[in-house]
Amino acid sequence: MKRIIIIAGIVVVLGLVVFSVLKGRDQAEATVESGRIRTADLTSVVSSSGTIQPKRKVDVSANAMGTIVHLAVAEGQRVAQGDLLMEIDPSEYAAQVQALEASIASAEADLRLSQASLDKALSDRDRTGKLFDEGLVTEEQVVTARTNARVEQARVEAARHRITQYRANLSKARHDLDKVTISAPMAGVITRLNVEEGENAIMGTLNNPGTVLLVIADLGTMEAWVEVDETEVVKVELGQEASITIDAFPDEDFVGHVTEIGNSPIRSRTGSSGEAVDFEVKITLDQAPANIRPGLSAKAEVTVADRPQVLAVPLGAVTVRDWPLKATDIRRYKGRRARAQAASLEDLGFEPRPAAPDSATVEIEREETEGVFVLRDGYVKFVPVELGIAGENDFEILSGLEADETVVTGPFRILRELKDGALVKTSKKDRGRRGRDGSDES
């Protein structure tokens, strides 16, 4: 009886071992999420942010120094070209004009006096010459008369040049006097007024910009000035359509087109040593709201590519492996399990793996290759793919996959370590999940 009990116990233990082995043979190594390759319309966009600015604006600065004695406009006022904006105290400039006018009058009187002296000197020279011919004067007197005539001639020329100089100075003084009256250089709206009546206007110099008195902008045509990262600006081209959202108008979307792409980068420090490099892109709004203002915050999505009805794979499915695969990236089993796995992979339509080189010294050139793990009856196979554009949730597939194939889409921590040929199971939340086109993605 005791012997029968021992034999029965051994049988039970062996049964448990066999059951454990058989169970372990079919046990999945990981639980993954899955999706399905499908046909979809993909649109690639470049997102950026910035501010709304007028396409045309003018910063009005002071061309004359002085106190603002009359301010004729207010911020937000619409003006026409040539309208009076403000006037700077003209007293000093008017006095200079009057002084130069007086100097010209005095120089003209000196010119008349010099002309009279010249006429007398010419008459004396001619008379002395006749007297010398008659032997009544000496040669020295003739030379003196001729010299006096040349001196008076030079004085007349000097007086004339002095008048020309005074007139040039007067022209400049009158121009400076005109600059104290500031008029609108263009039609538009006063979007910024930086001064008040009674303040001093300061002229700019070579190294010191002058006071910007006010800004006139044409609000009829508005632009979104956005900063685009250096990795994406190469995709942006003139004329591309953009969707613009303005924080001040949250319920409206505006359409615009790219009209200018900066050639020089905008550099901003992001840390102690790093710099972010962006480029300014200007997008002209096709139609702006009536009460829009410069400086409003805006976001823009520029459509850089559009692909209708192409093969699409979820973004999370794409991973990177060294290709051809390394031995450490391939799941290999022993004994019966290895044969079962190999048979299963070939029965599922997976191509057999290439045979490993006979010598361990053979070097294989590998390069990082983008691909996905195709899922069939619980087994996964790494398949290299060629990607096209990136949409909001999917990549375009140019080659490597076919429609309706099921691929592993995550989680990322598992996808990163997943090996070719591994046995997996899909999470329950994937089962029955459908894509945007209604197809089952489980």
Does this model's pTM top 0.85? My answer is no
What contacts 378, CB < 8 A, 6 or more positions away? 28, 423, 424, 425
| Distance separating alpha carbons of residues 390 and 7, to the nearest angstrom | 66
Asked if residue 411 has a cis previous peptide bond (ω within 30° of 0), the answer is yes
What pLDDT sits at residue 1? 53
Q: What percent of the chain lies above the pLDDT cut of 90? A: 53
What confidence tier does 275 reach under pLDDT thresholds 50, 70, 90?
confident
What pLDDT sits at residue 222? 93
| Distance separating alpha carbons of residues 157 and 74, to the nearest angstrom | 54
The DSSP secondary structure of 82-110, one letter per residue, reads: T-EEEEE--HHHHHHHHHHHHHHHHHHHH
- Counting beta carbons within 10 angstroms of the beta carbon of residue 167, is it exposed (0 to 12), middle (13 to 18) or buried (19 or more)? middle
What is the arithmetic mean of pLDDT over 330-356?
57
Query: Is the CB of residue 86 less than 8 Å from the CB of residue 66?
Result: no
What pLDDT sits at residue 439? 41
What pLDDT sits at residue 131? 87
What pLDDT sits at residue 366? 84
Q: Which helix (H) or strand (E) holds 156?
A: helix 139-179
Task: Look up the CATH number of domain 49-54+218-306.
Answer: 2.40.30.170
Q: Alpha carbon of 156 to those of 37, 104, 107, 119: distances in Å? A: 99, 15, 11, 10
CATH class of 27-42+311-353+365-430: mainly beta
Query: Is the CB of residue 50 less than 8 Å from the CB of residue 225?
Result: yes
Query: Is the CB of residue 219 less than 8 Å from the CB of residue 188?
Result: yes
Copy the structure tokens of residue 178. 């005109």
Copy the structure tokens of residue 225. 């000035």
What is the arithmetic mean of pLDDT over 81-98?
93
Q: What percent of the chain lies above the pLDDT cut of 70? A: 80
What pLDDT sits at residue 342? 56
Q: Which helix (H) or strand (E) holds 190?
A: strand 188-193
77 backbone dihedrals φ, ψ, rounded to 5°: -80, 140
**Ranges of each domain in the chain:** 27-42+311-353+365-430, 49-54+218-306, 90-179
What is the arithmetic mean of pLDDT over 366-371?
89
Copy the structure tokens of residue 143. 């030379």
β-strand pairing of 424-426 with 30-36: parallel
Query: Is the CB of residue 52 less than 8 Å from the CB of residue 217?
Result: no
